[in-house]
Amino acid sequence: MSRSLSLIAGLAAAALVAVPLTGAIAEKAAPKPSKAAATKTVAPPPAPVKLGLGRQALPEEIHAWDTDVRPDGVGLPPGKGTAKEGDALFQEKCSTCHGEFGEGVGRYPVLSGGVGTLTADRPDKTVGSYWPDATTVYDYISRAMPFGNARSLTADEAYALTAYLLNMSDVIKDPDFELNQGNLAKVKMPNADGFYLDDREVSEKQFWNKNPCMTNCGPAPKVIGRAISVDVTPDEKAGPRVD
């Protein structure tokens, strides 16, 4: 072997030895996490910095917004009214849309009758046939009626109109019966037991998929008709059967 070849062979051997030694040195030099650091809990993120904008709402302001009435009667304001008083109010403020006896005008909602129709193809969802709680009738009237002039009624007027609707539905028999903050929640509606809690987490569980298809899931649906052309709201009671 010549002298130059011996030198190249010696350098190659030195390089092969240097690689594992360099890796071992680097591994030894890298700091290992201490046992205390491994068991240290992650600190919660810092609280957001207050920007100094706005202010805490005053009790009067919260009261002005908190106007809903719950099914159990919480939120009912002081007041009273009878069906006889509500009759005059209804003719003045409501009959233009709902008719003198709640029969409905044009396509405005019917408010009376319809008891026993909820299983029909086209049920009448009136106060007497459908509404589960008398207190929410008051809530809707006081916050949304009369149409176009919402929140213009006093508490007494809302109690009187509620009493009139309940009287039309034979829920209150006596037109002089005084409906008020203390007894409205005790009124038993005909369909009070016709509702149940949302059970879709159980009843529709078979439809759920953890990995729903988002692309290329199948052929595109074909539109065979549009609501405006098929008139899905027939005028007559003999509408198509709905299963």
Angle at 17 between CA 12 and CA 23, to 5 degrees: 125
pLDDT at position 236 = 59
Measured between alpha carbons, how far is 21 from 27 in angstroms, rounded to an integer?
Answer: 10
pLDDT at position 18 = 40
Burial group, residue 80, by CB count within 10 angstroms (0-12, 13-18, 19+): middle
Other Cβ atoms within 10 Å of 117 Cβ, number: 16
The string over 37-46, giving b where at least 16 C-beta atoms fall within 10 Å of a residue's C-beta and e elsewhere, is: eeeeeeeeee
pLDDT at position 216 = 86
Peptide bond into 48 cis (omega under 30): no
Q: Give me the domains of the chain, ranges plus CATH numbers.
A: 72-186 (1.10.760.10)
Instruction: Find the helix packing angle between 155-168 and 83-93, rounded to 10°.
Output: 100
Measured between alpha carbons, how far is 207 from 211 in angstroms, rounded to an integer?
Answer: 12
In a structure prediction context, what are the per-residue pLDDT tens digits for the chain, which is 243 residues long?
Answer: 444 444 444 444 444 334 444 444 444 445 555 555 555 677 888 887 878 888 989 999 998 888 899 999 999 999 999 999 999 999 999 999 999 999 999 989 999 999 989 988 888 999 999 999 999 999 999 999 999 999 999 999 999 999 999 999 999 999 999 999 999 999 999 999 999 888 888 888 888 877 888 888 888 888 887 776 666 665 555 555 554
pLDDT at position 235 = 59
Question: What are the phi and psi torsion angles at 141 (to 5°)?
Answer: -60, -45
Q: Token pair of 177, please?
A: 């019966």
pLDDT at position 153 = 97
Residues 6 or more apart in contact with residue 121 via CB below 8 angstroms: 239, 240, 241, 242
Sequence length of the chain is: 243
What secondary structure letter does DSSP report for 80?
A: E
pLDDT at position 196 = 87
